[in-house]
Amino acid sequence: MRTARTALGALAFAALLAAGTTALAETVAYKAVLDGKHEVPPNDTKGTGSVHAKYDTATMKLSYSVKYSGLSGAATAAHFHGPAKPGDNAGPIITLAAPLASPIKGEETLTKEQADELANGLWYLNVHTAAHPPGEIRGQLVKAAAKAAKKK
């Protein structure tokens, strides 16, 4: 009987530990507004766009959707860049896979360092075209405000 109680106690303790670990995991939403004025140097494109991304802290996966319109031509490349503050340039971290027609959707597993840079606002996304090889539209990724729960 005592062995059964000990086993049940150990099982309950393990369940509490597992629940605590799961409770620490979260999904963090990020967004960016893409335009030519945020490129470095800025340009006068009529193109605009947006990025909506979610980072799962448990799996370290970043899922993203990039939408754009009004570019001077077809997208030739698109990348997440960093680490860089707004107004600074940095090398590509993640190259988005073709097809590059809007919307571009994908998922990548980040390193701890990359996740920290993203959380600290040091990533941006830009979309390149033949007319604007360094990038036609760009936007800094920032944490999106949490959605308020709906009241009944």
Neighbouring-strand partners of residue 128: 77
Which residues have C-beta within 8 Å of that of residue 136, sequence separation ≥ 6?
36, 39, 43, 45, 47, 71, 72, 126, 127, 128, 129
Q: What is the pLDDT of residue 16?
A: 46
pLDDT at 145: 82
Tens digits of per-residue pLDDT, 60-113? 999 999 999 999 999 999 999 999 999 999 999 999 999 999 999 999 999 999
Rounded to an integer, what distance in angstroms lies between the CA atom of residue 110 and that of residue 93? 10
What's residue 108's pLDDT? 97
pLDDT digits (tens, 9 = 90+) for 65-80: 999 999 999 999 999 9
Q: Provide the token pair at 127.
A: 């979309």
Q: Where are the domains of the chain?
A: 25-143
- Could you please state the CATH topology (level 3) that the domain comprising 25-143 is classified under: Immunoglobulin-like (2.60.40)
DSSP-derived secondary structure letter, 23: H
- Pairing type for strands 27-35 and 75-81 reads unpaired
Convert the pLDDT of each residue in 30-54 to its tens digit: 999 999 999 999 999 999 999 999 9
Q: Residue 87: which H helix or E strand, with range?
A: none
With 90 as the cut, is the pLDDT of residue 151 above it?
A: no
pLDDT at 5: 54
pLDDT in tens, 26-36: 999 999 999 99
pLDDT (tens digit, 9 = 90+) per residue, 130-144?
Answer: 999 999 999 999 999
